[in-house]
Chain A
């Protein structure tokens, strides 16, 4: 059963420039139709592609879209080491203050024009204006310029250790390259044209927001010679077409996978993995090994959590195991973790988290004591509760129960996620439209960097929702970015983690990975990348 419409085939042919002579054109179409059906993958991603500008938003779906049609200067390989991608030769000056990148040969935009250094300069500037790591890097940058048609130069005030890491990162927003005239769009406005130089092309005419996104192979793409690894290496495309089907109902998506109506389902709910595992042809695989990190944000502006003792009480009360079991369910896919920087990542140290090892009863007793000392007046906490997302729905209920167990009064403010997003930005007192607690999660990869994740900032009113303030933490973040080696960074991170637990920056609720489910009898070659699902290297079998 093919999902390709006749119209789309004709359009596909038109964009490929094959419809010059109509009669032969038609003959070509009918020949291509069956081959194309066989080389198509239909996948159900975790959400809807709402924004087509992967620089403007941090939404993961937009980053996936970006990975299809755009390319990056550098990219993390499978071991999270930065490797050149669009860049051929590159170098650093002896004083470590000038970086030179030379674009490799054969790079072309989807409209057929050459990729130039000027395009990249404009793209870098726009990305750096939006991205946390980019903004941090720009503090040390004097100028980004095009030395010639193919050479980009970044000049620094002082040496900065994270240039490659920032350009290669897979956490959103990724540093995607766009055409100069598109990249000159105000960073606060969304781009309206979607011309990349990446391995796939966006099929504008078939885009139905909330339902379907279609990508065709970019036949002009020249992959690197190395084997594909992470988002680095040769992006060899072996599919003609990738169709994203947006399905809000997970039960429906799982059924569609089992009956062969789709080939790939990105986030099967863990509770139905058992059913999927036994289904014919279906394979489960963890692609994003760093997974997700759950955390509970406390509002540092208002009582009781403007008092560190109350925050500590909450930290002791929240039981990671309870949350993980209720929200994730299968111990194969989750782990408790005492690090603010993702256990399993190079920064995943657990210094200062010994309290996690105490028995729950003892922790609760300590929490009650601390809560009493904090002078908590018994006013109910407002816990924001998103009911339309499974993990968040379970999380808020578990956290509420954990807090009640140590003497907090709790009111769950239930709404959809849209409601939580609106309310969490409200700085008023909880009984005047504000809040005390909300739960969310971040990608394990993004969370592993104190710079990349906005949530790791502790600069008070300017910090992320919850607005924690801690001068030592801010100082340590700067120290981390300037640290020359991995060991030095780990040493800083150990102090940082201890400090964050001490002033209770927020409360981590554990980590989990989600396997993807796909029809191994129909496709192979998925690459393991944190936070992006690449479709190059994948082929039909």
Chain B
């Protein structure tokens, strides 16, 4: 949420400063505005769109019209309503996956970076998980646990954890040797306090950047899982589901694919742009490397 607060300029009093900010950070602004618009649609979905689940087969595959702004899908559901509600679930999947992977990865990474005896064992475990192809792991998880939004989130988040953990750990390893941390340790500060006050803050900037990429990739992976029939239950209007379920109609009812497809590409693009912009601002070191 700090992301949004920083990127959605609303107060006119800062007008001049914002213009400067926008000129210097065009990617943050473009990404942020796009994302804010989609988030707005997600929040106000019940106000601006009808029911996304109820269907009437009589109306199936209608082209866009006054009654159905963006046409209907193969069950006669309103594509506009599903796309708007789709923003909710697609963003929810993206954000939750990012949050889950962040929190677990952060804890693991901090612990491994600080408690060296833990490191060898836990990092091998992380290496192991990382070696398993993420999509296969996710399909297998969804297949054996049954499809639900919860399972899909867990299935996408698990393979991301080791990457976050590694990132955090590498930051911790660098930071812990810095003079001020050594000083804190010499002063007899408690471990938890050192981690919390001195080490955690340095891990935040690269983490935020990483979080945006995970969020973007989670939305894409969800679409891929839906394509393979192992995604969120088809009743839920996620963009991935809508695309996957409409792939038969590419030639006859292209709106069923292109509407959610465009939304998905735009949002992923927005998040990636935002991530790039944030990286340049928050983590110049990484910016140079990447």
**A and B part of one assembly:** yes
Enumerate chain A interface residues (CB-CB to B < 8 A): 249-251, 269, 271-272, 274-275, 321-322, 325-326, 329, 385, 387-388, 390, 393-394, 397-398, 400-401, 412-416, 418-419
The residue among B54, B57, B58, B234 with the most chain A CB atoms within 10 A of its own CB is: B57
Please name all residues of chain B whose beta carbon is closer than 8 Å to the beta carbon of A390 when the two chains form the complex. Answer: 248
Please name all residues of chain A whose beta carbon is closer than 8 Å to the beta carbon of B252 when the two chains form the complex. Answer: 271-272, 274-275
Please name all residues of chain A whose beta carbon is closer than 8 Å to the beta carbon of B76 when the two chains form the complex. Answer: 326
Q: Is the interface of B mostly helix, strand, loop or mixed?
A: loop
Contact B248 A250 (CB under 8 A): yes
Give A38 Cβ to nearest chain B Cβ, in Å. 31
Which of A269, A322, A419 is within 8 Å of B143, CB to CB?
A419
Give B218 Cβ to nearest chain A Cβ, in Å. 19
Which of A394, A400, A419 is within 8 Å of B146, CB to CB?
A419
Which size bracket describes the interface of B in this complex? Answer: 20 to 34
**In the complex, per-residue mask of B123-156: 1 if CB is within 8 Å of any chain A CB, else 0:** 0000000000000000000010011100000000
Q: Give Cα A452–Cα B146 distance, bound, in whole angstroms.
A: 33
Q: Give Cα A371–Cα B55 distance, bound, in whole angstroms.
A: 23
Q: Give Cα A414–Cα B233 distance, bound, in whole angstroms.
A: 6
Please name all residues of chain A whose beta carbon is closer than 8 Å to the beta carbon of B147 when the two chains form the complex. Answer: 387, 414-415
CB neighbors of A among B22-55 (8 A):
54-55
Q: Give Cα A419–Cα B147 distance, bound, in whole angstroms.
A: 10
Contact B229 A388 (CB under 8 A): yes
Give A397 Cβ to nearest chain B Cβ, in Å. 6
B146, closest chain A residue (CB): A415
Q: Give Cα A385–Cα B236 distance, bound, in whole angstroms.
A: 13
8 cross-chain pairs, A with B, having the tightest CB-CB distances, nearest first: A388-B229, A325-B57, A414-B233, A414-B147, A326-B57, A415-B146, A326-B75, A269-B248
Contact A397 B75 (CB under 8 A): yes
Contact B250 A251 (CB under 8 A): yes
Q: Give Cα A271–Cα B74 distance, bound, in whole angstroms.
A: 9
Please name all residues of chain A whose beta carbon is closer than 8 Å to the beta carbon of B198 when the two chains form the complex. Answer: none
Interface: B106 (CB within 8 A): no
Contact A416 B143 (CB under 8 A): yes
Give B224 Cβ to nearest chain A Cβ, in Å. 14
Q: Give Cα A272–Cα B58 distance, bound, in whole angstroms.
A: 18
Interface: B67 (CB within 8 A): no
Give A271 Cβ to nearest chain B Cβ, in Å. 5
Interface: B208 (CB within 8 A): no
CB neighbors of A among B140-194 (8 A):
143, 146-148
Contact B143 A385 (CB under 8 A): no
Interface: B247 (CB within 8 A): yes
Give B170 Cβ to nearest chain A Cβ, in Å. 39
Interface: B230 (CB within 8 A): yes
Interface: B249 (CB within 8 A): yes
Q: Give Cα A321–Cα B234 distance, bound, in whole angstroms.
A: 21
Interface: B251 (CB within 8 A): yes
Contact A329 B74 (CB under 8 A): yes
Contact A251 B248 (CB under 8 A): yes
Q: Known contacts being A387-B229, A418-B143, is A394 close to B75, with CB within 8 Å? A: yes
Please name all residues of chain B whose beta carbon is closer than 8 Å to the beta carbon of A322 when the two chains form the complex. Answer: 57
Please name all residues of chain A whose beta carbon is closer than 8 Å to the beta carbon of B245 when the two chains form the complex. Answer: 393
Q: Known contacts being A272-B251, A397-B234, is A326 close to B74, with CB within 8 Å? A: yes
Q: Known contacts being A326-B57, A401-B54, is A272 close to B248, with CB within 8 Å? A: yes
28 A–B pairs (Cβ distance < 8 Å), ordered by A = A249-B247, A251-B248, A271-B61, A271-B74, A272-B249, A272-B252, A274-B252, A275-B252, A322-B57, A326-B57, A326-B60, A329-B61, A385-B235, A387-B147, A387-B233, A388-B229, A390-B248, A394-B75, A397-B234, A398-B55, A398-B57, A398-B75, A412-B235, A414-B148, A414-B233, A415-B146, A415-B147, A419-B146
A324, closest chain B residue (CB): B57
Q: Give Cα A249–Cα B250 distance, bound, in whole angstroms.
A: 13
Q: Known contacts being A272-B248, A416-B143, is A397 close to B60, with CB within 8 Å? A: no
CB neighbors of A among B53-77 (8 A):
54-55, 57-58, 60-61, 74-76
